[in-house]
Amino acid sequence: MIRSLRVLLCIAVLVSCAFAQTKLNGAGATFPYPMYAKWFNEYHNLYPNIEINYQSIGSGGGIRQVANGTVDFGATDGPMTDQQIAESKVKVLHVPTVLGADVPAYNIQGVSGELKFTPEVLAGIFLGKITKWDDKAITSLNPGIKFPDQNITVVHRSDGSGTTYVWTDYLSKISPEWQSSVGKGTSVKWPVGIGGKGNEGVAGNIRQLPGSIGYIELIYAVQNKILYGVVKNSSGQFIKADLASITAAAAGVKMPADFRVSITNSPSKTAYPISSFTWLLIPTNPTDANKGKILKEFLFWMLDKGQTMTEALSYAPLPTQVVEMEKAAITKQVKP
Amino acid sequence: MNPPEPPEQLQKPATAIPSMAQVSRERKPAASTVLQKIRTSHPRASRIPDAVFAVIILLSAISVFAIVVLVAWELIDKSRLSLHQFGIAFFYGHDWDPVEGSFGAVPFIYGTLVSSFLALLLAVPASIGVAVYITEMCPQRLRAIISFLVELLAAIPSVIYGLWGIFVLAPLLREYVEPFLARTLGWTGLFTGPMYGLGMLAAGIILAIMVVPVIASITREVMTAVPQNQREAVLALGATRWEMIRMGVLRNARIGIVGGIILGLGRALGETMAVTMVIGNRPEVAKSLFAPGYTMASVIANEFSEATGDLYLSALVEIGLALFLVTLIVNALARLLVWSITGGTARVRA
């Protein structure tokens, strides 16, 4: 009995040596976390000896950790700035993985329809210039809807977030005043409004406060069946955010060689204007060649098989020409 | 992230203990003589274990010191960039603009202090009421149930309080309480402006609910430790029940009660999650309690993970340093208060 146990133990040890586990560690953005978790899990099922750990500690943390070389890869919702790249100890390649969007959600007494917003109206509301729901700028856009004489309460994210980055990046592009007085970032100095923590905090506050408007991630709005408005894009079309209109936003923008691109206010005709990529940050010269090789194989899998899994989780897949470009860049730039 | 907490928790109970120790000393005068006998009967055998024990105790005492010093050092070291850039202006600056890289701590210090003191204002009378009822007036059967429920309140995670704040308390405040306050007390200037439900008032109320179990259970404990003959003596002098509670119990227990209040204040100053969910998170100093505010612990929790840029990160660590200093000052003031009370007692006894 004891002997057979010993034999079993020996076999177990031998087997585990033969299939030595390779563990990769990554950290960063929270927005694509559900997608990444799914991918890493599927990949582990395909190749049981490879385990990829991902900690969704936020984009700022992801950039810091990959720049210091403490993780094998990072992830971010906003591309690294030139200064961050200059200060980074590790040279990285930005690899776009999926697309997402921010939508304006609101709660107005007596209004249950889908509202239309123009860039000017959104900027006016978030700058505190438009303060009433029956303001002419809003009513003239939505002729069929009767607005109450109600104050507008702006709700924004209180925690630093890629969602805020995309929203403020959009407002900076369409409003020179926003650009000069507020600017873009994961946290900004809001001219008006109250802050809610996370998508759930913003959505909760909107639901609770009559007359409020805020921005949330499309995925969150879809999954929780929250009413959100359509936004006029740069070609003058009112577009509702969905997977097709987000992918269109990415297709309409010329992709630079380093993939650091903002696709808000995309020129494409069918594009939803408040869309964004999210990126993995891959060290181009990994310290551990074996890990680098595994990561590279994973990236190719993610760009083929992985892209077919996105829609089930409400993320928009990459346009095909971007996928081709990424494959070429990874082959050329990432060692080994 | 809330560095000042561990030392507080280790230190605070000490304020409550002296009064209880005094009480127990009166009851058991024999303890030291018994120990003396044991020691003299085994003079050599106990020397080495005693020495080892003394060293271990000394080390654990020093470790508290070391932790406080390390926390302070780490906070200063990591906020060096921001300290250098803004100097002392950081502590009286009002601006918080991560995009421009301009940082000042005043709105956060203000929010932390106002929400915490508002919480104490509401919680202290309620907690003492709870404690008096449990120890002095409650039927025996109810006593265990109420004590259990009070302690249960302390075990509820703060995120639950926060959600309750958003979905129950805030609408209640917005629909009924705030309009009423604005009508009746609006002239004070403390209850004016748009009513969101969320804001400083909501944060104060949530904190009060979270602090009540801390203060109430310590107060109850201290009041239970007051010897029965004190009560009987006051009653024998012809006091009514209320006079007995006031003179016989509360007066004897007051040092412990103040200790409990300090512990509650510590919890209120450092509370993060529940506060950030209901305070509105707006870095602004407003006189009205309806207006949204922000606290030091909340801004660190909110912005640390996505803070890009070294100066921004450094400024957030300096907010941590400010929280550390505020906690230190508030604790020192509270300790002074305890000393002044103790001094008063000594004079009365003399």
Q: Are strands A153-157 and A275-283 parallel, antiparallel or unpaired?
A: unpaired
Same domain flag for A208 and A302: no
Q: Provide the 10 A C-beta neighbour count for residue A191.
A: 14
pLDDT of residue A2: 59
CB contact B95 to A (< 8 Å): yes
Q: For residue A71, how far is the Cα from the chain centroid?
A: 20
Contact B98 A189 (CB under 8 A): yes
What is the dihedral sign for C-alpha A92, A94, A98, A104?
Answer: positive
Same domain flag for A41 and A155: no
pLDDT of residue B104: 93
Q: Which of chain B's residues have a Cβ under 8 Å away from the Cβ of A151?
A: 194
pLDDT of residue A186: 87
pLDDT of residue A208: 87
Same domain flag for A51 and A86: yes
Answer yes or no: are the C-beta atoms of B256 and B162 closer than 8 Å: no
Most B CBs within 10 A among A31, A205, A278, hence the mutation to make, goes to: A205
Same domain flag for A111 and A232: yes
**Structural domains in chain A (count):** 2
Contact B302 A195 (CB under 8 A): yes
Assigned domain for A264 exists: no
Q: Which domain holds residue A85?
A: 23-100+276-333
Q: What is the ipTM of this complex?
A: 0.80
pLDDT of residue B33: 62
Of A245 and B345, which is predicted with more confidence? A245
B194-238 pLDDT per residue, tens:
889 999 999 999 999 999 999 999 999 999 999 999 999 999 999
Reply yes or no on whether the pLDDT at B167 is more than 50.
yes
Same domain flag for A201 and A286: no
Interface of B with A in 149-168 (CB under 8 A): 166-167
CA dihedral A85→A86→A91→A92, nearest 10 degrees, is 10
Q: Which of chain A's residues have a Cβ under 8 Å away from the Cβ of B313?
A: 60
H-assigned helices in chain B:
5-11, 13-27, 31-41, 47-78, 80-86, 106-132, 140-155, 158-164, 170-172, 178-185, 200-225, 228-236, 241-243, 251-270, 273-278, 296-303, 310-349
Contact A61 B306 (CB under 8 A): yes
pLDDT of residue B14: 42
| pTM for this model (two decimals) | 0.82
B280 closest CB neighbour out of A57, A183, A195 = A195
Q: Which residue has the tokens 């020409």?
A: A321
Most B CBs within 10 A among A197, A200, A206, A281, hence the mutation to make, goes to: A197
Domain B44-342 has CATH 1.10.3720.10: yes
Assigned domain for A117 exists: yes
Q: Which residue has the tokens 């009767």?
A: A146
B247-290 pLDDT per residue, tens:
889 988 988 898 899 999 999 999 999 999 999 999 999 999 99
Same domain flag for A50 and A82: yes
Assigned domain for A269 exists: no
Same domain flag for A126 and A203: yes
- A45 backbone dihedrals φ, ψ, rounded to 5°: -65, -35
Work out the burial of residue A55: count CB atoms within 10 Å of its CB; fewer than 13 is exposed, 13-18 middle, 19 or more buried: middle
Q: Locate A199 and state its tokens.
A: 């998508």
A194 closest CB neighbour out of B280, B301, B304 = B280
Same domain flag for A155 and A240: yes
Confidence class for position A22, pLDDT limits 50, 70, 90: confident
Nearest-neighbour CA in chain A from B325: distance (Å): 24
pLDDT of residue B331: 87
Same domain flag for A296 and A224: no
Same domain flag for A92 and A113: no
In what side-by-side order are the strands of the sheet with A238-239?
A116-117, A230-232, A238-239
Neighbouring-strand partners of residue A215: A104
Region of B270 on the Ramachandran plot (φ > 0 left; ψ -120 to 50 alpha; else beta): alpha
Q: Are strands A238-239 and A230-232 parallel, antiparallel or unpaired?
A: antiparallel
Q: Which of chain B's residues have a Cβ under 8 Å away from the Cβ of A185?
A: 98-99, 308
Reply yes or no on whether the pLDDT at A308 is more than 60.
yes
User: Average of pLDDT values for A186-190?
Assistant: 92
Assigned domain for A189 exists: yes
pLDDT of residue B59: 95
Mean pLDDT value across chain A: 90
Q: What is the DSSP string of B180-196?
A: HHHHHHGGGSSS-S---
Same domain flag for A139 and A194: yes
Contact A60 B170 (CB under 8 A): no
- Taking the C-alpha atoms of residue A300 and residue A142, their distance in angstroms, rounded to an integer, is 46
Answer yes or no: are the C-beta atoms of A66 and A283 closer than 8 Å: yes
Q: Which of chain A's residues have a Cβ under 8 Å away from the Cβ of B280?
A: 194-195
pLDDT of residue B17: 43
Q: Where are the domains of chain B?
A: 44-342
Same domain flag for A96 and A132: no
Q: What is the DSSP string of A55-121?
A: E---HHHHHHHHHTT-SSEEEESSPPPHHHHHH-SS-EEEEEEEEEEEEEEEE-TT--SPPEE-HHH
Length of chain A: 336
Amino acid at position B339, single letter: W
Assigned domain for A3 exists: no
Q: Locate B236 and state its tokens.
A: 């024998």
Assigned domain for A267 exists: no
- Find, among B6, B92, B22, the residue nearest to B324 by Cα: B6
